[in-house]
Amino acid sequence: MKLSTALLALVAALQAVAAPYLHAQGRLRSRQADNGIINIPSPVEHTGKPEQCAGYKLDKMHEHDSGSGFDGTLSLISTCNAYGPDYTTLKIQVRHETADRLRVRITDAEGKAHVVPDDVARWPKIDEHTVTADESNLHIEVQHEPFGFKITRKADGEVLFDTVGHPLIFEEQYVRVRSALAPGSHIQGLAQHSDNFTLPIHEDGYTRTLWTRDAYGVPGRTNLYGAHPFYVNQKVGEGASASGTFLLSSQGMDVKFPNGTQVEFNALGGIVDLFFLNGPTPADVARQGSQIWGISEPVPYWSLGFHSCRYGYIDIAYVAEVVANYTAAGIPLEVQWMDIDYMKDRWIQTLDPARFALDKVRYVIDQLQASGRHMIVMVDPATFSGKPNVSVESYETLRTGKEQGIFLAYDNGTLYEGVVWPGPTAFPDWTHERAQAWWDAEFERFFNPDTGVDVSGIWLDMNEPANFLPYLEANIYRVSAERGMPPLRPLPRIIPRSIPGFEAFTAGENISAPLGSSGGGGGASGAGGSEGSTSMQTSGSPSASQSADAAPAEPTANVTRRSLTKRQTQSPLPSTLDDYLSPALDSKWLYPPYRIQDRRAPPSSAGDQAGLKNISDFSARTDLVQANGARTYDEHNLYGSRHAIVTHNSLLKRRPGKRAFTIARSSFSGTPSSIWMGDNLSTWGQYIQTIRQMLQFAAVSGVGVVGADSCGFGGNTTETLCARWAWLGAFNTFYRNHNEISSISQEFYLWNLTTVAARAAGHVRLQLLDYTYSFLQQHGEDGTPALWPLSWVHSEDAQTIGVEAQFYYGPHLLVSPVVEENSTSVTFYLPATRYYDFFTLVAVEGAGAKITLNGVGYDTMPLHIKSGAVVPLRHGTAMTTAENRRLPFRLIVAPDAHGAAHGYLRLDDGESVDMGDSVSDIRFDFKDGTFRVSGTFGYGDCHALDSIVFAGQEEKIAWIDGKACEADYDAKAKTLTVSNLGRKLDGEMTVELK
């Protein structure tokens, strides 16, 4: 759209009249630098010299009555003003909360600094649970002036945290806590990132920034979608141990590692609320951390099957055809997803009436459910807010949200708007007291099982929150137009062929015709919608860096903010006057004096320049006041978690009594949803990188169900990469193939190698699904990690700290994927213990060295059972989890060098929130030639036990209840298989080998 010369002249005239007045009022603070970059002076006076700060002194200190710690007062030694005025008086509380957890909490005396609220997670309240200092496994020493403290482990004297000699800085918009790191420290965590699992803290200037953002391509050395201010400090080799440190703060922050010998939290405000965890093993630390932020919500059994999705399904018949193709290829498929394609012009809680008509969508879901499958759809938070010539009178989501004041707004009540896929959008304020009821009502209306879209789960995307505005002053209509929001759509097509399993779709039928009408026609435009050509790749379709799940391509380092005159001449609408009348450039909440290294907002110099960008770019403004009274500045990192919490609750209400499955992109510690790790790329580097990312969530951050987009989301995959990724993805706890519209389609059935790989990997995943479900149950009970780095299992072996392309799937199964293009060999590390090949059960003796396997075809992947395990498998093949649950069990007994093995199996209905006593928690133990089944057996739908395979055995006779039973011995593999048991897992049982 172009303006006439007269209109442009009018805009220029208005600018000329308005600008002097605004300058006179101090509302425009921007100025043009010589290099063309607009620098914005910081509105906060500061020195930018934190190293000159003297810190605080401990004035008053008294022991707490419980004997669990002490309270005290800190006073400022001398003015610092590193990044703003100092708080002169602080309060400190130290508590031994459990035997393995010590808390140090420092607040300003007046209680003005932001505190993370407990609507995100039920954080431990001070003095809620305590032990005495004598009962604690940790000890704290305090230096009075300058104030500092040191935390040590009593058992071995190991120093966990030591701030002595590193003055505390506590200001409104800058808080710094620095500690020495003991020699031999290996730091893991501080998610979300795509760096090494063990962070490269000795790399010059290495910084982990926590500020949630849309991060297409998940680039390294940057902040990504989630913020988890927790790390594990692991020591390996002789004297191996681990400890944990959690800073309960939702502030944006840089965590720095000066010289690799210190750890330094640099937060944009808030308080200091540090939790120190004793360990002493990494798994202990993970369990102790989960006691702070909570345990992952249990997921339904079906959600552990294989999921399929693509941005670019042109209509509901296309979706049905994908399901039919997976069935025809013999590849197990559990859940079919729909990306934003299903929406009318990308408006959430709507259907495209021409391509995804309600009757057809309901029909496809009915057919999926009849075959034991499920449907999941995407729901973004951004809600279309209207634009010229587009009516929103009938858009109930917007109307009811505005009527109830649900959306983020300016102080004067004006709706705050950004740009996402529909174009101009509003953002729900999840802290609003009516937000939950509003979202519940939206779910009841749109996802009603009787009249709406009866999905089984919800996919939450763009909830950092993502925003396509490149800078906060940008005009929403211009950006929407330039970005082509919403993207154009192909015209409704004629269904080209019949679809097995979906017989109501007729070849030759217009997809926009009523279901079953056999309506023909030439692709007439459907009701409402932005129509393009019949080509799939329309002119309005995104480029590879403009996906449905991503912000625009990442700006390069030298991108400059547009000048005011450029904005004026390039803005096509009269309302772009708002684009250069920028009343908030003097806001300290938009331009804080300390600039975190947010990828979207490069840090400033130490002087008075706030820099090229601000932390609101490509996200919601940080100067807005939420309904709970907090600014978005302080709670930006909580937006995605709140979205997940409200959605989780709404899904529970819509499906009463059934577990909710929600999966989100953005997260904070304690998020109830499962996590998918964002918009990765179809490269071998990112294939390997997904392992590191999974471990930072599933091991360190306490998220049980997590995974990457198999075969990559952006760019074009290859047949061999996708085939290998089909296997690696099968050992993510969340398994999905998903990619974007501008990439080639990559459904597993499209190539021969991927078909072979996905079919084999899918069946192995289903065989192991009860093993997976059981270790996730254990994770849900006490926070035991779902996935394990090798160094966490073999901490005595210092070489394992560098192994990042292998991991343990659950406690027993070592995964060693092929990592090179077109290769059929893989070199991997085997610690010094006994393993059993998963497929042959032949024993393999690890020697603490690398081994190479050749001839690794695409129908397999190196998998090894760590000795000492009993692994339950489903015996047979299935295409869905419902079919899988009807198969009998086979138990694999893989004894260690002492002839012992142990395992666990959880049996329940797989979907109820309240299981009551209808569960079976079964223990398997093998020792001295005797195998025992014990536990509780409350699950009524008892499952058959078909056979037990004992690995690493000489030929023996198996006895059950004093009677010899049928057994087959494989002398080459040294396995003894006791088969045709005809038993059910409904009680105790003993098998003796003699």
CA distances from 897 to 237, 904, 928 (A): 22, 20, 12
The angle at the Cα of 355, spanning 351 to 360, to the nearest 5 degrees, equals: 75
Indicate the SS3 state at residue 827.
Answer: strand
Query: Which amino acid, 271?
Result: I
Do residues 18 and 583 lie in contact, with contact meaning Cβ atoms separated by under 8 Å?
no
Task: Please give the Cα distance from 394 to 397 (Å, whole number).
Answer: 9
| 232: β partners | 188, 244
Q: How many CB atoms lie within 10 A of CB 568?
A: 18
Give ∠ CA 290-295-301 in degrees, rounded to 5. Answer: 145
Whole-angstrom Cα distance, residue 136 to residue 154? 8
What is the Cα–Cα distance from 422 to 392, expressed in whole angstroms?
12
Find how far residue 993's CA is from the centre of its chain.
46
How far from 815 is each of 258, 731, 789, CA to CA, in Å? 35, 8, 10
Query: CA-CA distance, 691 to 695, in Å (whole number)?
Result: 6
Query: Residue 628, Cβ neighbours under 10 Å: how many?
Result: 14
Residue matched to tokens 């919490």: 645
**Letter for the amino acid at 896?**
D
Active-site positions read 461, 464, 679
CB-based contact 819:702 (threshold 8 Å): no
CA 472 to chain centre: 26
Check if the beta carbon of residue 639 is closer than 8 Å to that of residue 445.
no
Helix, strand, or coil (residue 830) = strand
Amino acid in the structure at residue 65: D
Residue 264 three-state SS: strand
Q: Rounded to whole angstroms, what are the CA distances from 803 to 275, 362, 724, 795, 913? A: 29, 47, 19, 12, 38
The DSSP call for residue 573 is S
- Written as one string, the DSSP assignment of 9-75 is HHHHHHHHHHHHHHHHTT----EE-TTS-EE-B-SS-----GGG---EEEEEEEE-TTSSEEEEEEE
Helix %, strand %, coil % for the chain, to 5?
A: 20, 25, 55
Q: How far apart are CA 380 and CA 423, in angstroms?
A: 13
Sequence-ordered list of residues with C-beta below 8 angstroms from that of 384, at least 6 positions apart, any chain: 345, 346, 347, 348, 392, 395, 398, 422, 423, 424, 425, 426
Distance CA 808, CA 789 (A): 6
- For residue 267, list its beta bridge partners: 175, 253
Peptide bond into 514 cis (omega under 30): no
Closest listed residue to residue 245, CA positions, set 182, 336, 317: 182
Q: Which two tokens stand for residue 1?
A: 């759209």
Based on C-alpha coordinates, what's the Rg of the chain? 29
Residues forming a β-bridge with 534 = none
Instruction: Give CA–CA dist 435/383, Å, rounded.
Output: 14
Q: Judge contact between 967 and 978, C-beta under 8 A.
A: yes
Q: What is the C-alpha to C-alpha distance for residues 707 and 776, in angstroms, rounded to an integer?
A: 14
Unique residue bearing structure tokens 């249990």: 298
Q: Is 388 helix (H, G, I), strand (E, B) or coil?
A: coil
Q: What are the helix and strand counts (H, E) for the chain? A: 17, 50
